[in-house]
Amino acid sequence: MKIQGALRGALVATACGFATAFGPAATASAETQLNMGGSTTTSGFYPYYTAIANAISNASEDLNVTVVSSGGFAKNQALMMQGQLDFGGISPDLIADAQASGFDGFRVLWWTLPAIQNITATKDSGIDNIAGFAGKCFHPGMNGSSGQKNMMKILRALDVAPDLYMSDPKDAANAIKNGRCLGQMKATTGPRLDSATAELNLTTPLWPVGYTEEQITAIKAALPWMGFYTMPAGVIDGAPEYTVHAIWIGFAATAEMDEATAYEITKGMYEGLDQQRAALKAIAEVDLARQTLEVSEYPLHAGAVRFYREIGLEVPERLIPPEMN
């Protein structure tokens, strides 16, 4: 298992049920309700989202966390900017996009792991390279998700123009199963197929689709924050090693959240790591606090800074938010 590129060289059910509406951003007080943006119930990170919500709620007498199934990190980004989510899952490209649009208020709480964006095609199609989808049906990821957004950026960077199948993952799997589409991109939590893709492979044999070194160079020229991950041989029976893109996933709030609340969120997450590691095997041996300080390119929330310092870590100057200076 090898990490390349930025990785080579660099998600949640509720503690008490899904939120059905977005509430205004909250501050820490007795029985404060916090809305945390996740993704969808079909995400491979769903159990991890649940564990985060439970860990924070169980660790604090003041906070109760509800997971909002927003539809993806891109929607989390928009809802946090609008003040309709208190905190949520995000990726570095979305923070970069927000800054480019003039919003510099995102503050990192922690980074979890690189989300592997795995690409597969039907074995009968003969496609084993992303360029093979030119003019052919391809599902670039769940509608509204940052994964879909980044897949589209990669296709533009490589000048590959598939016949895009824009839908939710379940509909895309059905389209592949009945021959209406030839492939898809779907996130996975480790060097394996996600459960939905593994199930699809049982009835519709699939084949991995990777990038060449030349394609990786072109992608990184256009998207310098993008990472790459080498999947081992045998992810699908008989398949060779192949390289896909990967994006750091983590959690952030905005500078509008008060320091005490961000501190309690970060502290609750860290104290409940055992639950989260049980839900997400890929972080079983990862110290999320140290990792965050090593890989983050964006400022931390003042409350997160306070917690990391409290457990004896030195927070690099580049991660200190302007409101602490």
- 201: exposed, middle or buried (Cβ count in 10 Å: 0-12, 13-18, 19+): middle
Nearest CA-CA partner of 24 in 13, 37, 35, 38: 35
- Which string of DSSP letters, residue by residue, matches 159-197? T---EE--S-HHHHHHHHHTTS--EEEEEESSSS--HHH
Of 8 and 188, which is predicted with more confidence?
Answer: 188
Please tell me whether the overall predicted TM-score, pTM, comes out greater than 0.85 for this model: no
Taken in order 215, 220, 223, 229, the sign of the CA dihedral is positive
Nearest CA-CA partner of 222 in 138, 296, 152: 152
Of 226 and 54, which is predicted with more confidence?
Answer: 54
Looking at the chain, the whole-number percentage of residues with pLDDT higher than 90 is 71
Half-sphere exposure of 256 (CA within 13 A, CB side): 15
Across all residues in the chain, what is the average pLDDT? 88
What is the reported pLDDT for 282?
87
Q: pLDDT-derived band of residue 31, with 50, 70 and 90 as boundaries?
A: confident
Tell me which amino acid residue 197 is.
Answer: T
Task: List, in sequence order, the alpha helices (H) in the chain.
Answer: 5-8, 46-59, 73-81, 92-100, 146-158, 169-177, 195-203, 213-222, 259-271, 273-279, 288-295, 302-310
CA-CA distances (angstroms) from residue 50 to 53, 158, 282, 304? 5, 37, 16, 21
Query: pLDDT digit string (tens) for 184-201?
Result: 999 887 889 999 999 999
Cβ within 8 Å of residue 165, ≥6 positions away: 137, 138, 139, 140, 172, 175, 180, 181
Cα–Cα distance for residue pair 299/108, rounded to 1 Å: 6
Which residues on adjacent β-strands are paired with residue 186? 118
Write out the two tokens for 149. 């957004």
What is the reported pLDDT for 289?
97
Residue ranges of domains in the chain, CATH in brackets: 2-114+249-324 (3.40.190.10), 116-247 (3.40.190.10)
Cα–Cα distance for residue pair 182/166, rounded to 1 Å: 13
What is the reported pLDDT for 4?
38
User: At residue 15, does pLDDT exceed 60?
Assistant: no
Average pLDDT over residues 254-266: 97
